[in-house]
Amino acid sequence: MRKKYRDLKRKGNVVVFPTTISRLLTEGMTLLKQERYEEARDGLYQVLTYEPEHPAALGAYSYCLYELGDYEEALEVCRELLNVGPIHYLETMELYISILMQVREFEEAESVIEALIEENVLPAERLEQFHLLRDLNERIASKSIEKIDADQFSTEKFLKLKPYEQERKVMELPHSSFKALTAKMIALVEHPDIDYLTKTYILFILHQEKIHAKANIHKYHWNQEFSIANLPDPKNSPRVRGIKEIFAEQLVKDPTRLQMVNELFERHVYLFYPFLMDDYDEKEVAEAYLSYLEGLFTGQGNLTGAEDLHQLIVQAEMWFEMRNE
């Protein structure tokens, strides 16, 4: 099997003559100009085994992968090239956008094109070319949405799917399609019997796509109307950070348990979202999770803190076990 770019390892203390790298690069570039892409790819890979961040080799290698239809790896290599700093910036950006369109990352492609146009970094002779590229991206994205059978996201049909099937079906949708499917997505997150993790994912994407709508969400004992635009950000929530800080203070000498309680808590935050257990104060939540974790280690049921919060933690863990069966 052909090695991937991600498999590259530095050669450590192996001494490589500069002429060797120069020769391999020249040979690879010659093969590329002759459109012998497979041979060029393999030759350029040899350059990258010695210098994984060689800009010219990364650019040519990414182009070979693109021409060979290996778009996912081409995207990975192109992103690495952008981190390193390409020699030919505009050509690299054009390749990057083309790859994004091939892997159906239309939103990112549009964002990159808009940034290039707005920042006035494009010379006049290239500006029209990128405008055309943006129009092409929009047309492809629109056609991609048109091909989606919206009826499969009706609540009636969706409820017939198993929980993991619901999540997978939604995750396979291009993000750009959520706007066109807003009504159906809102209906799904409002239905009490739709898989909780699927609801969470839908809400994340609706929020990311800046959809202006309201949804009444029901999970466990919580039921509340939310504005999609004002949904909480669990990663940057002061409340979530505050609870995790209490974990860190209590388990400063036990990093293993700290990691376990953080993973448990984060899993439940994702499950409960957009509810962040606001009906309990931060100390109550932290105490309940620490007590629950202690019970797992000791096997004793002497839990401290709010009893209903402990029941909620147990129910959440049972939910994950049943869903994964």
Q: Give the pLDDT of residue 172.
A: 79
CB 205 within 8 A of CB 178: yes
Confidence (pLDDT) at 275: 95
**Using one digit for the tens of pLDDT, what is the confidence trace for 37-66?**
999 999 899 888 888 889 999 999 999 998
pLDDT at 169: 87
Beta bridge partners of 215: 226
Angle between helices 307-323 and 282-298 (to 10 degrees): 60
CA–CA dist 109, 106 (Å, integer): 5
Give the pLDDT of residue 10: 46
pLDDT at 147 over 80: no
Task: For residues 100-122, give the mean pLDDT.
Answer: 73
pLDDT digits (tens, 9 = 90+) for 4-32: 655 554 444 444 556 778 888 999 899 98
Range of lowest pLDDT (15-19, 77-81, 185-189): 15-19
Question: Phi-psi region for residue 69, left (φ > 0), alpha (ψ -120 to 50) or beta?
Answer: left
Mean pLDDT, the chain, as a whole number? 83
Judged against a pLDDT cut of 70, whether residue 125 lies above it is answered with no
Which element (helix H / strand E) includes 219? strand 214-219
- 210 pLDDT tier (thresholds 50, 70, 90): confident
Q: Kindly state the DSSP code that residue 227 receives in the 8-state scheme.
A: E
The domain locations on the chain are 5-145, 150-230, 238-323
pLDDT number for residue 189: 96
Predicted confidence at residue 62, as pLDDT, reads 92
- What are phi and psi for residue 275, nearest 5 degrees? -80, 130
The pLDDT-based confidence of 89 (bands split at 50, 70, 90) is: confident
| CA atoms of 86 and 173, how far apart (whole Å) | 32
Task: Report pTM.
Answer: 0.57
pLDDT at 190: 96
Answer whether residue 224 shows pLDDT above 90: yes
Q: Compute CA distances 150 → 109, 141, 147, 181, whole Å.
A: 24, 16, 9, 7
Q: Comparing 112-121, 122-131, 246-255, which segment has the lowest mean pLDDT?
A: 122-131
More confident call, 143 vs 175: 175
> CA 219 to CA 194: how far, in whole Å?
10
Tell the CATH topology of 5-145: 1.25.40
pLDDT greater than 80 at residue 325? no
Q: Which of 53-57, 137-141, 190-194 has the lowest mean pLDDT?
A: 137-141
Residue-level pLDDT at 15: 47
Tens digits of per-residue pLDDT, 290-319? Answer: 999 988 887 765 556 678 898 999 999 999
Mean pLDDT for 71-82 is: 89
Element (H, E) at 321: helix 307-323
In 3D space, the residue among 312, 308, 98 whose CA is nearest the CA of residue 196 turns out to be 312
Our CA dihedral for 122, 126, 132, 137, rounded to 10 degrees, sits at: -50
More reliable by pLDDT, 120 or 30: 30
| Eight-state DSSP code of residue 162 | -
Average pLDDT over residues 169-180: 79
